[in-house]
Amino acid sequence: MNIGIVGGGQLARMLVLAGYSLGLQFQVLDPATDACVGQVAPLLQGEYDDQNRLNAMADWAEVVTFDFENVPSAAARILEEKVKVHPSSGVLWATQDRLYEKGLFWEMDIPTPVFATVDSLEELQEAIAKVNLPAVLKTRRLGYDGKGQQVLRTPEDIEPAWQALGSVPLLLEGFIPFEREVSVLAARGRTGEMAFYPLVENHHRGGILRLSRAPCPLPELEQEAWDYARRLLERLHYVGLLAIEFFVHEGRLIANEMAPRVHNSGHWTIEGAETSQFENHLRAIAGLPLGATTALGPCAMLNCIGSLPDRAAVLAVPGAHYHAYGKAPRPGRKVGHLTLRAKDHDALAEGLRRLLSLVGYSVEEFGPIC
């Protein structure tokens, strides 16, 4: 089967690597001439809305998917005229606007922070009166890894935040003093079959995910997260892998956002689950049976931001695995990740201490971990 992927970053790269063992073939569209997926699959270099490139992909592929949710939904509609697209253009559109996404959560009875739309400085002042401070001002579109966000803690923060973000439609959300950040990954196949991965605890710095650990032993919250994911998968007639990020506050899940694609917090599944998130996404969109999502033991994932640690030192840690993305080092850039699988939690903690030091962190920086 021929699979087209729109977006050529590390997620596309890992999809391709997972798909070759299934006998799948790939073609990838990306604007960058040096997109890292080009090292492992044929690259169509062009803008996401390049109609000639989109038509060429649609003529070749039997199904098309995405590694990046901010691809123009119009591009997905062009593809849909000729070929199956999963997730659909409608799903892309729904997840590209935080206002619609929040409305969808409310429709599905999934708790969210209180929020208000903002299109002017006057509306921002009115929204603050409704939401109260502290609050988070976000662009409605094109935000990821902490981009397009400003935290407002005092009235003095309002004007600078507006100057930084006020040229586009915005959303003001109440700040959640969360105890944990967690995420859930779920897959749905073409026939409606579903599979759910264990709940994952995540730790961010500067808006970028640094550490994930799974499974997170919060069984009641895990069941709640699976139920929310099931509602969204069914409501959206979703096909593929869906990720939902939550805050844990006073024993409840508060939905932050969702991503219609494989997700950074699921990288542990490559070595740590019976079937990786990448393989299950491909199984889903190709119409194949979904694989088991059982964790093979306690796992952790560390992002490598800006540079990679010494490979030999990483591989000397029992149970550790090294993933380089083939990207040039650059401050703030995700250039690889490390995964760790252990026989028990004590062994995981010991290995994690060693790996954290190799990427410049300490266990103490992240506080209590599930």
CB < 8 Å & 24+ apart, contacts of 235-238: 235/104, 235/107, 235/108, 236/87, 236/88, 236/90, 236/91, 236/94, 237/88, 238/87, 238/91, 238/188
Helix, strand, coil distribution of the chain in percent, nearest 5: 35, 30, 35
Dist CA 105 CA 293 (whole Å): 25
Tell me the C-alpha distance between 71 and 63, whole Å: 16
Q: CA-to-CA distance for 196 and 183, rounded, in angstroms?
A: 11
- Please report, in range form, the residues annotated as the binding site: 98, 138, 143-149, 173-176, 181, 204, 256-257
Task: Give the Å distances, CA to CA, from 113 to 116, 245, 327.
Answer: 10, 13, 36
The residues near 197 (Cβ < 8 Å, ≥ 6 apart) are 184, 185, 186, 214, 266, 269, 273, 277, 293, 295
- Tell whether the torsion through CA atoms of 65, 69, 71 and 74 is positive or negative: positive
What are the binding residues for ATP? 98, 138, 143-149, 173-176, 181, 204, 256-257
